[in-house]
Structure 1
Amino acid sequence: MNKKEIAEIKKQFIPNRTAVRKIAGCIIKEKEIVSTFKKDLYLYSEEEIANYMGMFQKALSGKIGKTLINLEFPTKENHPEQKELLILRNSALNDDEALFFYYEKTHANYRTEDNYLILVADGEYDIPSSKDSGFEDSESTYHYLITLLCPLTLDKESLSYNTALGQVEYHLRDWIIGNPEKAFLYPAFNDRGEDIHSMLYYSKKANDLSEDFLERMFAVTYLPDAETQKKVFDMALEEAGVTFENAVQFREIMQDIWLEENEETTDDEMLRKICERSGMQTDNFAKIMQEQGIKALYSKNLVNEKTAQIQTDDIDIKVPIVLLRLISVRRIDGQNCIVIKPNGCIRMDGVELHI
């Protein structure tokens, strides 16, 4: 899913226009399932609906490739994990046996010492034939499940004011449901339609994707976390013998891809071709990518889309991509120098300097 598709689905969790039909949940305390619940949305109060929708929206927030990860099921037919999700989705949460199996499987595979809530919602979105208008007749529907894993924490001991009795009294500690730590939307909403071979995964912490949980729970394929992607990519570029001019050309080509093609994920072959167009030696680049088992990277994890950062041991320069050509590296009097061509006057601490 791309940024626009995620935003389109996120709007379906606005309380007064939500596409959610039913909400179910399971409480895990001391590593045991202690209670379950399930109700149609219309049975909840407005305040409850608003809080639930806020939690679901939270699970669709963040940056793609960091906290939001696109996952794909293996292409082989009859993938058991995919089949389980389809059965539950198609039942609209009405198959109690399938729903409890889903709770048990999630509980068995999600490793945490905390108490938590497994929250599942069923929804059906009538996809407008025109994405720019909500008044066109729908050509198709998007039937989905969204699951949240939310921590349960005891609130602090306190005194509170009892309005009915008009007195201050001890407030019993309650279990508070926190924002989701993990979440998954199935199926994915790709090309403005359901894609049963993909799902969207949310992790509150970008550096803790819980890869082992994903493998046990869904047996899906995914990109490494953002930090690993950046580390491998930087190592591959260094092995390719990148020069300053190579780096500038690379950034300009990547910028064109973002602006013209709206590409967000770049496969290893495309990256190799971009490096080749930038004048780099691609054999070592391809070797590193292959050794690390990287077949695709999320472009915006690799470089900042708006600025470039040039560093020495002592100096840090940040420059907008559109002005990157004003900077060059030259050999002057036997020293490597960073040369900046000014557009207009030169100032220091706000004072215009005479050259």
Structure 2
Amino acid sequence: MNKSNVMELKKTLKITTEFMPSIDRICTCFVNGNKEKLISNTESYSSLGDEEQFKYIDILKAALSGTIDKKLLNLEFGSNEASIKAEGFMTEAYTEVFKSEEKRDELFDTIIENYIFDENYLIVAGHGVYDVPMKASDGAILEDETTTYEFMLVAICPVHSTKAGLTLDSDSGRMVSSRQVQIVQAPVHGFLYPAFNDRDTDLHSMLYFTKKPEDSHPELIEKLLGIPAPTSSVDQQHIFESIIAEVTDDKADFEVIKTLHENLKEMEETAQYNGEIKTLHKEEIKEILVSAGVKEEKLDDFEHIYERAGGNDDTEFKTGNLIELDKFAVKSSDVEIKIKPDRTNLVQQRKIDGRNCIVVALEGDVRLNGIQINAPASQL
């Protein structure tokens, strides 16, 4: 799913005076730190009180939040036996869970058995139906033509206990003692199935949410999809940084890194414009290093360099995970210079009086601490 698909689906979860969200059923399961299932319920969404409706929608929307390929992972089922079995289970689950207590508990038990978490948590599963308006070739909405997208959105939320103490009793106007209360937190993991790819149902894919990219709980991913969890965005960046460190002897040239940034940013923008997700593999990583100016003799042993960094033939890299493309900052222990990502042409590295310097061309109105100054003409 791309950003546009996610945003369109999130809009269907809004609650207004004129619009009810696409969610029609809610299943919940409270699990303690010993992996014991204490409560398991199914309710009609419309039967809930107003405050409960808002809270559940906030939880489910949060499981669709974050950057694609960092917090929101597009995952596909594989062709191996375990993955085919997992896909069959999910295909049945996303509708039957909300009709059958047996299927509901089967899904919850699968999550509990394969989710390593030693605290209390709540599983919230919402069933939704979205009548997707069709679009003409020019992008215009065709209000009278729709397709149906039925989905299951699941959120896993830690539950924290408040401390007993004093609280205000508004009825009596007095401070009274309060008991310990279990408070449901924002979700830390979750998934959407089927995926909403190209504004249509994709039974072969899932969108997986992780609040922290470095903590995706791969054991749950592997059970849900029957395939190894993908390399996290954090690990992708670490592998890439390790490769750069080795091919540059830990002394990457400024122009090499600047060119890498520019090339990756261009790839990412092109992919976004085309509604695609740009994926790189081993040979493409080598190609972008060559195009950025890394000396070819440094890449003669690239196969082993790549493996030592932690990559393998199945490792996929997303352009947005390799370098922070939304900013361009040069930082030392005493100085930090920030440049608009699309104006890297203003920056050069130079040796001046024997010292390494970053030279920035100044254009237009120049201010120092808010005060306009007379900037000398650029020598770049």
| Alpha-carbon contact 1:28-1:117 (below 8 Å) kept | yes
| Alpha-carbon contact 2:260-2:292 (below 8 Å) kept | yes
Structure 2: give runs of 5+ residues left out of the alignment: none
Deviates further, 310-319 or 56-65: 310-319
Q: CA deviation at 1:229?
A: 1.6
CA deviations on 1:231-259 (whole Å, 9 max, x unpaired) are 11112223333533333332222222233
Q: CA deviation at 1:119?
A: 1.3
2:167 to 156, 159, 175: 159
3-state SS, counterpart of residue 135 of structure 2: coil
CA deviations on 1:32-79 (whole Å, 9 max, x unpaired) are 112211112221122221111011011111222322222222133662
Q: CA deviation at 1:224?
A: 2.3
Structure 1: give runs of 5+ residues left out of the alignment: none
**Within 2, Cα distance between the matches of 1:92 and 1:111?**
22
**Within 2, Cα distance between the matches of 1:12 and 1:297?**
31
**Within 2, Cα distance between the matches of 1:153 and 1:246?**
48
Aligned residues: 354
Any residues of structure 2 matched to 1:165-314 within 5 Å, and which?
Answer: 169-241=176-248, 243-262=253-272, 263-268=276-281, 269-280=283-294, 281=296, 282-284=299-301, 287-291=304-308, 292-293=310-311, 295-312=315-332, 314=334
TM-score (structure 1 length as normaliser):
0.87
**Within 1, Cα distance between the matches of 2:177 and 2:145?**
54
Any residues of structure 2 matched to 1:1-355 within 5 Å, and which?
Answer: 1-15=1-15, 16-29=19-32, 30-76=34-80, 79-91=84-96, 93-130=98-135, 136-157=143-164, 158-161=166-169, 163=171, 169-241=176-248, 243-262=253-272, 263-268=276-281, 269-280=283-294, 281=296, 282-284=299-301, 287-291=304-308, 292-293=310-311, 295-312=315-332, 314-332=334-352, 335-343=355-363, 348-349=368-369, 350=371, 352-353=373-374
TM-score (structure 2 length as normaliser):
0.82
CA gap of 1:82–1:161, structure 2 versus 1, over 3 A, is same
**Within 2, Cα distance between the matches of 1:342 and 1:167?**
63
**Within 2, Cα distance between the matches of 1:296 and 1:205?**
19
**Within 2, Cα distance between the matches of 1:339 and 1:173?**
59
| Alpha-carbon contact 1:230-1:301 (below 8 Å) kept | yes
| Alpha-carbon contact 1:71-1:220 (below 8 Å) kept | no
Deviates further, 335-344 or 178-187: 335-344
CA gap of 1:312–1:187, structure 2 versus 1, over 3 A, is same
3-state SS, counterpart of residue 306 of structure 1: coil
Q: CA deviation at 1:333?
A: 5.4
CA gap of 1:314–1:110, structure 2 versus 1, over 3 A, is same
3-state SS, counterpart of residue 98 of structure 1: helix
Identity of aligned residues (%): 27
RMSD, aligned CA: 2.8
| Alpha-carbon contact 2:59-2:186 (below 8 Å) kept | yes
3-state SS, counterpart of residue 87 of structure 2: helix
